[in-house]
């Protein structure tokens, strides 16, 4: 049962975008390790990240009738 | 073995439930039959038909890498767990449409709407969503318009673009009208709906500055504040001084909605649109879940007859016979073209594996269809007399209560003034007569279901909770739709003057937002001043537009199926397409040529001109008559435009298919070549 609840909680966090920043950091760590040659490759701050995310999200049809 | 026994049982139960709904001619029938019929029909369709379409027609390939895997960028293209994609997809497709349509269509009785919701979803809507999702997934998450352009030709692309823009305008106008009618002379509803604006802003600031990115925390806070606002609305309603502030006629409320829509389109998204969207998603999913539980606990009796006399076209809520108007009125919930915009573009970017298309495309729409069934239940558990008293506009039943009651009772649906007054008092409203648009009657239905299931003393609270629930996601659609309309318009204007196409250039933002708001604001304004309630004109127009978009999606799908050598399976999308073309063309034909002034636009315009010329109209009616006449002509032209677009794209699809079958050159299939997936678990 705790496993189920945990799954539900993770699901809720994921669906709502609550854990988006954690996933971004994880993705960043995974995909930018070899990018030392590139300038300015540090991850965005949480506030910056959300700012960008929201602007992007609403540039298209996102809600239906 | 056990499995086949279970499926045989599901089949029998489903057949029994559908049979008892269809054949019942008694006093009333339990709502649980509706739920059982729906669940069994959905289960069988999902397990057998959808699985067959997935395996044979689309040939979903689990070993093929999806765009999310190939183009993974950690931002919009992200391979995501299918339950999460399902949540996103459902939250995006489920709007107020499936709540309003069935409520209005209940004037024909519960049977036609229920059958259309079940059959339309299973054979039409779900197939459309699933196939569009599939096609877009195989094409790097291209949008419907792009696919139409590439696979059929430039004509298809433009038709999809114009169609989408037109739907947006009509949809927002009619939804705005639904909210205005719910708030008219109701200080409680108006103050609660008004309170959702600062609450959304507060949540926006919280998520942006105070605790950046704490989405769940902020949403919980917002939902609690929304519940407080429902209570607070009650205090406003009881306070003599505050009441006056929120007690308005339709017209000032409509202007309020228009100003709000403009502000929401111009303000930054983080302040209003994004937080409102979070709140509305939570409230929406929570309330739908609660309603399903309440219906199962309470098992209310459906009091509406299976069929009413209004199938002959004389219905008070909107004019027109059962065929084709029940199929136009219920678009969302049975088949909704709008979904093809979500299923192409947004959702495919998240799919981890192609085989999830079965569950997300088909299953997501099944759940939306279930919401429509619950709306139908909520509308039909009301006494039919009460249902008609709430939903009939003054233009058809008369302005004063005794006249309306006499008229409705004469149709065989007894209702009394005292009954309506005591119901209004229970719900905390001044009156419930002529509250058209579907929201108030749905709220009364939901309040009575919630009230009986979870405690009866709180009817007024439940009623206003239901109004808040409808208003919050209607306003979300209004915000988001105005914004999308603005982007589309800027895109088009960009062709005229490049600078206008820059989405961040403020003068262009203001100009294009103002144009979009003026577009829907105009129809909203006319809808409010129209003594027949406006919904009877705007909702069918919206239905025709939405079905037209569905027909475009199905045309693209049929064309691609034929081009990929799957002619013998083309009926899977072809059959719903033929049906949609039939109903939209018939409805449009009747709306334009009918001599009945409650159906035909021109007939109504001529009737009104005649009355105006002979001085038959009261002065205040004579004043608005020229505007109404102009609007009726405009509506006729719009209908013609929709049907013209529809036929253009269908003929274009047939042309491309014919050329392909005759061995002539056609635009090539734009499917991205197969790349093996590395994410498949062995």
- Nearest 5 degrees, angle CA B439-CA B222-CA B213? 130
- Cβ of A65 within 8 Å of Cβ of B96? The answer is yes
**To which H or E segment does residue B297 belong?**
helix B273-298
- Cβ of A13 within 8 Å of Cβ of B342? The answer is no
Model pLDDT, residue A34: 55
For every residue of B566-621, DSSP letters joined together read -GGGTHHHHHHHHHHHHHHHHHHHHHHH-SSTTT-HHHHHHHHHHHHHTT-S-HHH
- CA–CA distance, B174 with B541 (Å, rounded to integer): 9
Quick check: A63 contacting B, CB < 8 Å? yes
Q: Ramachandran region of residue B615, left (φ > 0), alpha (ψ -120 to 50) or beta?
A: left
What confidence tens digit (pLDDT) does each residue in B624-665 have?
A: 999 999 999 999 999 999 999 999 999 999 999 999 999 999
- CA–CA distance, B639 with B646 (Å, rounded to integer): 11
Model pLDDT, residue B382: 94
Looking at the domain assignment, is residue A54 inside a domain?
Answer: no
Confidence of residue B472 (pLDDT cuts 50, 70, 90): confident
Q: Ramachandran region of residue B505, left (φ > 0), alpha (ψ -120 to 50) or beta?
A: beta
Instruction: Give the total number of structural domains in chain A.
Output: 1
What confidence tens digit (pLDDT) does each residue in B37-85 have?
A: 999 999 999 999 999 999 999 999 999 999 999 998 877 788 988 998 9
Dump strand ranges (E) for B434-552.
none
Beta bridge partners of B29: B302
**Where do we find the tokens 């540039």?**
A59
Q: Ramachandran region of residue B185, left (φ > 0), alpha (ψ -120 to 50) or beta?
A: left
- CA–CA distance, B680 with B667 (Å, rounded to integer): 33
Beta bridge partners of B80: B351
What confidence tens digit (pLDDT) does each residue in A7-34 have?
A: 888 888 888 888 888 888 888 887 765 5
- CA–CA distance, B125 with B331 (Å, rounded to integer): 9
Confidence of residue A65 (pLDDT cuts 50, 70, 90): low
Confidence of residue B682 (pLDDT cuts 50, 70, 90): very low
pLDDT top residue among B134 and B264: B134
Q: Which two structure tokens, joined as six digits, stand for A20? A: 């988006």
Average pLDDT over residues B459-481: 90
Confidence of residue B502 (pLDDT cuts 50, 70, 90): confident
Helix (H, G, I), strand (E, B) or coil at A17: coil
- Cβ of B274 within 8 Å of Cβ of A57? The answer is yes
Residues of B in contact with A27 (CB under 8 A): 74
Average pLDDT over residues B585-612: 95
Confidence of residue B247 (pLDDT cuts 50, 70, 90): very high
- Cβ of B269 within 8 Å of Cβ of A17? The answer is no
CATH of the domain at B386: 1.20.1740.10
What confidence tens digit (pLDDT) does each residue in B148-202 have?
A: 999 998 888 888 888 888 888 998 999 999 999 999 999 999 999 999 999 999 9
Q: B676 CB contacts (<8 Å, ≥6 apart)? A: B63, B64, B65
Q: B229 CB contacts (<8 Å, ≥6 apart)? A: B191, B192, B195, B196, B199, B468
**Which of B145, B449, B477 is closest to B284 using CA atoms?**
B477
DSSP 8-state code for residue B363: I
Looking at the domain assignment, is residue A17 inside a domain?
Answer: yes
Residues of A in contact with B484 (CB under 8 A): 60-62
- CA–CA distance, B600 with B622 (Å, rounded to integer): 21
Instruction: Give the total number of structural domains in chain B.
Output: 1
Average pLDDT over residues B198-224: 92
Q: What is the mean pLDDT of chain B?
A: 92
The domain of A24 spans: 2-41
Looking at the domain assignment, is residue B634 inside a domain?
Answer: yes
Looking at the domain assignment, is residue A13 inside a domain?
Answer: yes
Answer yes or no: is the ipTM higher than 0.95.
Answer: no
Looking at the domain assignment, is residue B227 inside a domain?
Answer: no
Bond preceding residue B410 cis, omega within 30 of 0: no
Looking at the domain assignment, is residue B426 inside a domain?
Answer: yes
**Has residue B491 got a pLDDT over 90?**
no
What confidence tens digit (pLDDT) does each residue in B523-565 have?
A: 999 999 998 888 889 999 999 989 998 999 999 999 999 999 9
Looking at the domain assignment, is residue A52 inside a domain?
Answer: no
The domain of B280 spans: 2-185+248-661
Quick check: B214 contacting A, CB < 8 Å? yes
Please give the distance of CA B543 from its chain centroid, rounded to a whole number: 9
């Amino acid at each position: 049962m705790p496993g189920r609840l945990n799954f539900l909680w993770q699901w809720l966090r994921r669906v709502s975008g609550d854990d988006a920043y954690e996933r971004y950091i994880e993705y960043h760590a995974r995909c930018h390790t070899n990018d030392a040659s590139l300038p300015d490759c540090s991850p965005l701050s949480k506030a910056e990240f959300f700012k960008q995310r929201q602007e992007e999200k609403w540039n298209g049809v996102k809600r239906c009738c | 073995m056990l499995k086949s026994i279970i499926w045989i049982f599901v089949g029998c139960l489903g057949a029994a439930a559908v049979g008892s709904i269809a054949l019942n001619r008694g006093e009333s029938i339990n709502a649980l039959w509706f739920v059982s019929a729906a669940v069994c029909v959905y289960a069988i369709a999902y397990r057998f038909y959808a699985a067959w379409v997935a395996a044979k027609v689309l040939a979903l390939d689990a070993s093929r890498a999806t765009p999310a895997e190939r183009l993974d960028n950690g931002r919009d293209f992200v391979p995501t767990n299918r339950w999460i994609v399902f949540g996103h997809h459902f939250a995006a497709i489920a709007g107020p449409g499936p709540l309003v349509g069935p409520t209005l269509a209940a004037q024909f009785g519960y049977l036609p709407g229920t059958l259309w919701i079940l059959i339309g979803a299973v054979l039409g809507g779900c197939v459309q969503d699933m196939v569009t999702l599939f096609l877009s997934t195989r094409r790097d998450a291209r949008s419907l318009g792009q696919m139409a352009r590439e696979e059929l030709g430039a004509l298809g692309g433009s038709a999809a673009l114009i169609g989408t823009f037109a739907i947006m305008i009509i949809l927002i106008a009619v939804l705005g009208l639904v909210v205005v009618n719910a708030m008219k002379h109701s200080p409680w509803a108006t103050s609660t709906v008004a309170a959702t604006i600062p609450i959304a802003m507060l949540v926006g600031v919280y998520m942006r500055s105070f605790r950046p990115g704490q989405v769940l925390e902020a949403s919980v806070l917002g939902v609690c504040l929304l519940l407080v606002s429902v209570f607070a609305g009650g205090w406003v309603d009881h306070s003599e001084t505050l009441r006056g502030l929120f007690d308005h006629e339709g017209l000032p409320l409509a202007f309020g909605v228009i100003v709000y829509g403009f502000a929401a389109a111009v303000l930054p998204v983080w302040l209003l649109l994004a937080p409102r969207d979070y709140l509305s998603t939570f409230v929406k999913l929570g309330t739908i879940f609660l309603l399903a539980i309440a219906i199962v606990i309470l098992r209310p009796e459906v009091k509406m007859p299976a069929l009413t006399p209004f199938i002959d076209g004389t219905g008070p809520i909107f004019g027109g016979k059962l065929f084709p108007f029940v199929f136009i009125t219920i678009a969302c919930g049975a088949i909704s073209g709008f979904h093809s915009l979500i299923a192409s573009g947004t959702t495919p970017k998240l799919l981890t594996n192609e085989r999830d298309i079965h569950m997300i495309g088909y299953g997501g729409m099944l759940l939306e269809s279930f919401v429509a069934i619950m709306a139908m239940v909520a509308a039909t558990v009301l006494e039919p007399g009460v249902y008609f008293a709430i939903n009939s506009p003054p233009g058809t039943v008369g302005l004063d209560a005794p006249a309306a009651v006499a008229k409705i009772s004469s149709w065989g649906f007894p209702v009394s003034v005292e009954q309506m007054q005591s119901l209004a008092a229970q719900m905390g409203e001044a009156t419930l007569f002529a509250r058209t648009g579907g929201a108030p009657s749905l709220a009364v239905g939901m309040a009575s279901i919630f009230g009986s299931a979870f405690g009866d003393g709180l009817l007024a609270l439940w009623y206003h909770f239901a109004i808040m629930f409808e208003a919050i996601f209607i306003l979300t659609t209004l915000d988001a739709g105005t914004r999308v309309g603005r982007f589309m318009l800027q895109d088009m204007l960009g062709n005229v003057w490049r600078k206008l196409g820059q989405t961040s250039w403020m003068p262009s933002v203001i100009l294009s937002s103002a144009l979009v708001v003026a577009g829907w604001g105009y129809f909203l304004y006319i809808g409010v001043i129209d003594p027949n309630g406006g919904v009877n004109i705007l909702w069918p127009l919206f239905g025709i537009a939405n079905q037209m978009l569905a027909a475009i999606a199905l045309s693209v799908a049929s064309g691609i199926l034929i081009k990929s050598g799957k002619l013998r399976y083309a009926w899977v999308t072809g059959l719903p397409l033929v049906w949609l073309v039939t109903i939209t063309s018939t409805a449009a034909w009747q709306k334009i040529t009918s001599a009945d002034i409650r159906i035909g636009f021109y007939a109504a315009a001529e009737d009104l001109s005649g009355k105006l010329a002979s001085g038959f109209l009261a002065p205040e009616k004579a004043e608005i008559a020229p505007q109404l006449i102009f609007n009726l002509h405009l509506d006729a032209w719009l209908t013609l435009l929709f049907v013209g677009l529809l036929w253009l794209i269908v003929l274009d699809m047939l042309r491309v298919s014919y050329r392909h079958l005759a061995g002539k050159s056609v635009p090539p299939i734009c499917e991205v070549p197969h790349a093996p997936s590395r994410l498949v678990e062995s």
